[in-house]
Structure 1
Amino acid sequence: MPFSVRHHDKDTTEPISFYLSSLEELLSWKPTDDDAFNVAMEPLADRHPPLRSSRPRTVVCHDMMGGYLEDRFIQGAVVEHPYAFYHWQYIDIFIYFSHRMVTIPPVSWTNAAHKHGVSVLGKSKANAARCASLKGEPRPWDCLVFRLLHIASMFYYNNRSTGIVNLFLACRVFFDVCDGMFTNYNWTEDHLERMGSLTGDRQADVYVGVDVFARGHVVGGKFDTNKRKDLIATYNFTIFLFFRVLNFESCRKAEIFANQAPFWNLLMDHLPTHGISTLPFLTSFCQGFGKRHYFCGEEEEQGSWFNLSAQEVQPLYVHQASEGINRGWVRTRGCPEDVWNGGASLLVEGAIPPGMQNVAVRLFSLQIRPPPKLFLSFVFKVADGADTRVSLELKTSGAPSCLFEKVSAVTASEKAMQPRFLHGDHKLVVNFQNRCRMQADSKWITQKKKKKNLDIRNFLGQDISLTFEETVGARWLRKVSSFLGVLEVFDAESLTAAKPLVQGMTLSGILWRKGSYDTSRKLSQLYLSATLRWSCEPHLASHFRVYCLGAHCPKDGTPSDPRSPALIGRAYACLYRVVDLAVPDAPAGKPGWLEFFVLPVTKEGFVEVLPESAKLALEYSEPL
């Protein structure tokens, strides 16, 4: 069967994200079955303060070498030093930029942004020459707008009306009828003053451009971008960051993560921090890439990988120090070496100054109205030899009359709570353990020892912190560190909720080939590529694990245990393209046999077992 080159890599048939290059492509676009790979699985999560509030916002326009690089591969790619954005808690809108006529954000960016409650925009451009062909059409602009809205709604990214202009009296009429306007980055304070006099009470709807590369005659930029932000904040305008990935394009790729932290640390005191307001809340701190892939503390796959759809909700990344001779300090960063799930854990490290017995490191801002029974669990590892007690701290505020938009006004009633420890024989713990079915690495302290349950009705959850407490006092600076593997918060009632059901599995787009990735092999290997599809209740599963029984190990053709299904991939939608799966030749005169399994992973992190999963069998034979 022919494969659409718009949706599939021409060499491997892997699904890829796409864009539209011309007006003709836009006007002729119609949804097809192949578009399903590009539809975001993640709904836009709730967060506070919400985008609709009248406060100034923060927009990042992501421009990375023209776009559609390794991030175009929907099921992930092998990348040694990828670029990933993970400071979502500081921004409101993410724009994926390219120079194409219609930029459709790669689905992995939309999934990652939506997990954090960040709206995603594409980009479109059309000049007079391109639009000349529409002159004979009735209401031509309506046709274009309809097409763009259809594409945005189809792929679950957001749409917003904007215009590039410096706001002055002659264009005030356009500002009055659109959602907002953004300016270029070559502005002066005089421009801000004039715009301020024309916006009325809509200052937050003026998006003032700031170029991270400091092009043109501007103040600030690069690692002085905070100077521009301060000036914009004076007029209550929204900041629009033209983010040409400064820390990636202007430094060695291996140093990318060392440069991300200082850039955002400069801005963190100038930007509002958004709170998570959706339960269940679970994160393994995976940043969407890694040197290996881990599951429950065990290495599952070797080799570098990159897939932003696998990115989990990210914490506050901080690097702060106190003043004085014996300065205490704290830092949080991703660690790809000690991992529980995915490609990274969270390393929380610091030093407790003399005279202090404990220190709390804020990880997440929350704005949740907890259910009657809130269940907290975390997996962690303490550095060898450390005489430190690690615990979770939940900060709450009295909330009978608290409004989300005015949460800062209730700080007088803030309380720090230590959730109650539950022993392993508690019925909630037993139920949780049965649904997780996790086997822990002995170096990690697992959920079984850290089940927390708390009755906190009439409170508003505000912050989650990790607390280090020294068990032995000291008169000198003491270093502390801990690796966090998983943190989850959910309604205890969800432990008895129905499991997501996978059904209706089908196989299509089958492609066979013979060859070998290993030139030293004398015999050619049989490879299968095909598309698995299934149905599942929407928004119950975070992703799916795809297994195959009867196949060889991928690519190298090494025989695997015929009695045990092998993991062949992870899907972040209800379909998965199997690419070059090494399978044995069919026996002479008999059919070959394969069996595929799909295991859903719930929003709470629960994983089903293979006998209970959906499956599909495939028989094949040599051609006559």
Structure 2
Amino acid sequence: MTGFTCETCFMNYLASLTWPYYRYDAITVGGDLDWQDKLNEHNKPFFDLCDGLFVNYTWKEKYPRDSAAAAGDRKYDVYMGIDVFGRNTFGGGKWNTNVALDLLKKDDVSTAIFAPGWIYETKQQPDFQSAQNRWWGLVEKSWDVPRSYPKRLPFYSDFDQGHGYKVSSEGLQISGDPWNNISCQSFQPMLKYTGDEVQPPVRTSINFKDDPYSGGDCVTVQGSLRQNAIFSEQLFNGGLSMEDGYVHLFYSVNAEANSDLGLSLDFSSRNKENTSILIAEDIVTFSRKKQHRLYSSYVQSDKVEPHAPDNQNWVIYRATVQSSASYTLIGINIVCTLKTSGKINSEADEDESSEEDANRSWPYHASLGHISIRNMDENTQFPSAESWVTEGKYISWSNNSNTSKLLSLKISWKLNTSHQASFMKYNIYVEKLIADSSAKASRSFLGVATVEAFYVSDLQVPDEVTSLKFIIQACGRDGSRQGLEECPKLFLVPVE
């Protein structure tokens, strides 16, 4: 650690830094431990040499305005602290954190939120996920949440929040252990928290309990729907530029027998003309409902043979949509209705339909596992296994018991060509091979890497295992995955 004999030396050091540096409001320029709770003459010399100041969270009502005035053009580099535990923090924190946020937004400064883990650590009711959604819903209501989506295709989301109770890949569970890896987060849908007091007849939520299609969760719509109604909720908005030609849209559905689920795409032209396309397998069911006039056109989706034939719950659909360079994709929506039978209603049929039947509600439950939109002529090309160089480093074996050993190592991989790999992530598996060639090797999912390296710690290896085969599966930015047989591999023989 660098030491300084005088404050001037430290100030000179700050001025020489070439990486971002943020300072906490604790030490004054005189060298005293004295929290100022705002930007003033006692800490501004540090602020002038740093990228930002985290102000201590015991500030008073007028302090944000004073800090903004002291910062001048750099007012957004002042981060007023809020302690979620509420320890002498303005507004009291906890479920009143938005009181401080509202004031800071009005005074036009930034904020640093301390200890949002309060929700988990204090076991807020009714459960962590519900309380988490409720608390961050207060933040969103107060400040809104800026979202950054890609501007060009491909677009992919499996709604993964970077944690869960299990892990799935293409509809198959590959791990049943709870996990947390924030780097696995996918683009998040714009779901609104309705509050504990409001219980809408149909609710869209992130579902960690049911089996996901990919990652640790899925989007689930459940509740009750009227027979003649269509429920729709926006998942994403943005500005994806289209090209002349066609795009492929893939999505996965796990629905009860009476529940139908589709997607709609909202487009805007250069002339600000809007159009909406409904995509579903059973367009007859959607087009016979009263709200079908909301959509300019319909595109039928077809079932796709799953990569994993054992997957019985998730159904993958593919649709081909004509696109134009004069349009921008501005919205992706989930669209739900109850299944019906028969032909499309004519106007006369609709007028004669029973109002009682139309207003009758039935249970609805369907889940969306992923969405992938890509240009028709742009498919991810995965390098062959021979195109990669794999290496194991820092290999360490230790005895675990009389029947097994523990292995730790770093696995790294890189292309042996001049091309740089550009994949969203890598799934890492291991197969434990034994001498009996007729026995099927057990394959285990180890985790996910977002760089070309992965650390294995204390992997249990039974004594009967004669070799280990580590598999590095590349995953494209459109959600596609390389076949496991074509993936690069690293072989390792246990030590005696």
* Shorter-chain TM-score above 0.5: yes
Q: Could you report, residue by residue, the CA deviation over 1:70-127 in whole angstroms, capped at 9, with x for unpaired residues?
A: xxxxxxxxxxxxxxxxxxxxxxxxxxxxxxxxxxxxxxxxxxxxxxxxxxxxxxxxxx
Larger Rg: 2
Match of residue 467, structure 1, among 335, 345, 349 = 335
Aligned pair 1:216/2:101, yes or no? Answer: no
Aligned pair 1:280/2:154, yes or no? Answer: yes
Instruction: Indicate if the aligned counterparts of 1:422 and 1:453 stay in contact, CA closer than 8 A.
Output: no
Aligned pair 1:418/2:278, yes or no? Answer: yes
Aligned pair 1:331/2:209, yes or no? Answer: no
Secondary structure of the equivalent of 1:504? strand
Q: Could you report, residue by residue, the CA deviation over 1:221-266 in whole angstroms, capped at 9, with x for unpaired residues?
A: 2112222222222222223322341211122699211211111222
Q: What residue ranges of structure 2 are gaps of 5+ in the alignment?
A: 26-35, 280-297, 341-356
Secondary structure of the equivalent of 1:185? coil
Match of residue 228, structure 1, among 100, 106, 110 = 100
Tell me the amino acid that sits aligned with residue 447 of structure 2. Answer: R
Kindly tell me: are residues 360 and 187 of structure 1, through their superposed partners in 2, closer, same or farther at Cα, counting changes over 3 Å?
A: same
Offset, 1:207? 2.3
CA distance in 2, matches of 1:231, 1:423: 49
Kindly tell me: are residues 329 and 347 of structure 1, through their superposed partners in 2, closer, same or farther at Cα, counting changes over 3 Å?
A: closer
Tell me the amino acid that sits aligned with residue 122 of structure 2. Answer: S
| 1:400-549 alignment runs, 5 A limit | 413-419=273-279, 421=299, 437-439=307-309, 441-447=311-317, 450-471=318-339, 474-495=358-379, 497-500=380-383, 503-516=388-401, 524-536=403-415, 537-548=420-431
Secondary structure of the equivalent of 1:287? coil
| 1:337-376 alignment runs, 5 A limit | 337-352=210-225, 357-372=229-244, 373-376=246-249
Q: What residue ranges of structure 1 are gaps of 5+ in the alignment?
A: 1-22, 28-129, 150-158, 401-409, 517-522, 553-558, 587-591
Tell me the amino acid that sits aligned with residue 181 of structure 2. Answer: N
Q: Could you report, residue by residue, the CA deviation over 1:116-164 in whole angstroms, capped at 9, with x for unpaired residues?
A: xxxxxxxxxxxxxx53399999965567x36xx3xxxxxxxxx354553
CA distance in 1, matches of 2:404, 2:196: 61
Kindly tell me: are residues 593 and 332 of structure 1, through their superposed partners in 2, closer, same or farther at Cα, counting changes over 3 Å?
A: closer
Instruction: Indicate if the aligned counterparts of 2:68 and 2:78 stay in contact, CA closer than 8 A.
Output: no
Match of residue 264, structure 2, among 393, 396, 411 = 393
Q: What residue number does 2:354 align with?
A: none
Secondary structure of the equivalent of 1:362? strand
Kindly tell me: are residues 528 and 180 of structure 1, through their superposed partners in 2, closer, same or farther at Cα, counting changes over 3 Å?
A: closer
Match of residue 454, structure 2, among 576, 587, 590 = 576
Instruction: Indicate if the aligned counterparts of 2:166 and 2:216 stay in contact, CA closer than 8 A.
Output: yes
Q: What residue number does 1:606 align with?
A: 480
Aligned-residue identity in percent: 19
What TM-score, normalized to structure 2?
0.75
What TM-score, normalized to structure 1?
0.61
Tell me the amino acid that sits aligned with residue 460 of structure 1. Answer: T
Match of residue 566, structure 1, among 433, 440, 443 = 443
Q: Could you report, residue by residue, the CA deviation over 1:272-312 in whole angstroms, capped at 9, with x for unpaired residues?
A: 33334324332223333333332332232333333333333
**Structure holding more strand per residue:** 2
Kindly tell me: are residues 355 and 550 of structure 1, through their superposed partners in 2, closer, same or farther at Cα, counting changes over 3 Å?
A: closer
Instruction: Indicate if the aligned counterparts of 2:98 and 2:139 stay in contact, CA closer than 8 A.
Output: yes
CA distance in 1, matches of 2:65, 2:408: 60
Q: Could you report, residue by residue, the CA deviation over 1:171-227 in whole angstroms, capped at 9, with x for unpaired residues?
A: 666656654434222233322343444454544333222222222162242112222
Tell me the amino acid that sits aligned with residue 608 of structure 1. Answer: Q
Secondary structure of the equivalent of 1:513? strand
Offset, 1:356? 7.0
Q: What residue number does 2:123 align with?
A: 251
CA distance in 1, matches of 2:60, 2:77: 18
Aligned pair 1:378/2:251, yes or no? Answer: yes
Instruction: Indicate if the aligned counterparts of 2:397 and 2:495 stay in contact, CA closer than 8 A.
Output: no
CA distance in 2, matches of 1:335, 1:524: 36
